[in-house]
Amino acid sequence: MARQHELEREVELLKQRLDASQAGWMEARSNLEDRERQAAECDATQLQAFQRTVAKMLSDSCVIVDASERDILQRIDELICAIRDKTAVSINALHMILTSICL
């Protein structure tokens, strides 16, 4: 009878330890999920702030760039094309000057 009582007490202690471990695990998991959510929100906020900054930098008195990824990329493409066109004109002008000097 005493042995059975000892075993029942040990089972009860093991159940309590299991319950405590499960409660600790659930709390740790909940904390992790909260931190992951907070990190995602922070990342999204930082991305939006970065996009607003880039949009302002790409805007000028004639063109206002929206803080969307599509509009930012479109404006960058426009600026690259404009630089290429200016470079081509400059190269052609230099070529014409050199040709006239050499003649």
Domain count, the chain: 1
CA angle 3, 8, 10 (to 5 degrees): 95
Tell me what pLDDT residue 51 has: 96
| Residues with pLDDT less than 70, the chain | 103
* pTM greater than the 0.75 cutoff: no
Structural domain of 76: 2-102
* CB neighbour list of residue 54: distance below 8 Å, 6 or more residues apart: 67, 72
Tell me what pLDDT residue 91 has: 86
Tell me what pLDDT residue 99 has: 86
